Amino acid sequence: MLALMAAGSVFFPGLFLLSKQTLRHMMGWSEGDAAIVSTRLVSSIQAIIASSVGCIIASSCRDVVEDRHWLTDAYILFATPYFAYDIYAMFLCYRHKQQVKGHEEEGGGGARSTRAAVAGYLRRELLMVLHHVFMVAFCCPASLLWRQGKGDFFQGLLFLPELSTPFVSLGKVLIQYNQQHTLLHKVNGGLVLLSFFSCRVLLFPYLYYAYSRYASIPVYAVPLVAPWQCNLGAALLWPLQLYWFTLICRGALRQFAAGRSNSPPPSKPDRDGCLTTSNGRTQTST
């Protein structure tokens, strides 16, 4: 158990540092640009691994409650440190953007500047930070201990939402390099909508539907017999997915409307708490 968590604690930060140093020294990128792209890269690699593991587990379990797969607990232990690493990596990206935009505290010492950056980061990324903390503090013990060795099929399905992450990350990188009007960005935007809706929005209703078929009970009766931890997790995570999907749809509609009118699209908030404009520049949202 500790060995897997230690491996994850080394793998994700190590991959980030390796990618950042490679981009800096071999590609000549700045520290901030290399850190931002490296963060997206690590997120995408974690997502590909997680969704692949989820597919293997879900396809291997014939009995959705009793069947077990060794990858389930193994990957939970390995991936849990990722969420702690990602909180810090997102902070580095946020601070770099603030420095580029000239929003760093002026005239303050290093400690004061860091405190201001942390406060601003938490204001803009509060939902994402809470999501990551919830994954470590609640989902990890729920998956490892409270399940009591049952439901590997459902746990495998819960890895699949990560499938949308590589497309989201690619979209952010394309915007960062002023490629948001290219065909690649438009195609990727469609894939973001499709993958996010199918793997995140529809996931939680499908979990209850799958159990209703297994138990031969109506879907509406599943919350009455499901463990409270499952109901609590769904109640907290599903609305968050719906909220993010709403933001994605609003951004897609803005871009579509702007494309039809041949006028610059209005600024829209991205997941990093900034406003992205038609020329690819970002400004702080208020």
What would the pLDDT profile of 55-79 be if each residue is shown by its tens digit?
A: 999 999 999 999 999 999 999 999 9
Band of residue 255 on the pLDDT scale cut at 50, 70, 90: confident
* Cβ contact 94:121 at 8 Å: yes
Query: Which of 71-85, 207-221, 260-274 is least confident?
Result: 260-274
Count H helices, E strands: the chain? 12, 3
Contact 165, 82 (CB under 8 A): no
Q: Which residues of 267-282 are buried (b: 16+ CB within 10 A; e: fewer)?
A: bbebbbbbebbeeeeb
- Check: CB of residue 242 under 8 Å from CB of residue 250: no
Helix (H) or strand (E) holding 73: helix 70-101
User: Is the overall model pTM greater than 0.75, yes or no?
Assistant: yes
Quickly state the pLDDT bin for 239 (edges 50, 70, 90): very high
Per residue in 90-118, pLDDT tens?
A: 998 888 888 776 655 444 446 777 888 88
Residue of higher predicted confidence among 258 and 108: 258
- Residue 169 contacts residue 43 (beta carbons within 8 Å): yes
Tokens read off for 185: 């960005």
Question: How far apart (Å, rounded) are the C-alpha atoms in residues 256 and 249?
Answer: 10
pLDDT value of position 103: 55
Which whole number is the average pLDDT over 6-34? 93
**20-29, 172-181, 202-211 — which is least confidently predicted?**
172-181
- Residue 121: CB atoms within 10 A of its CB come to 22
Question: In the beta sheet, which residues pair with residue 268?
Answer: 276
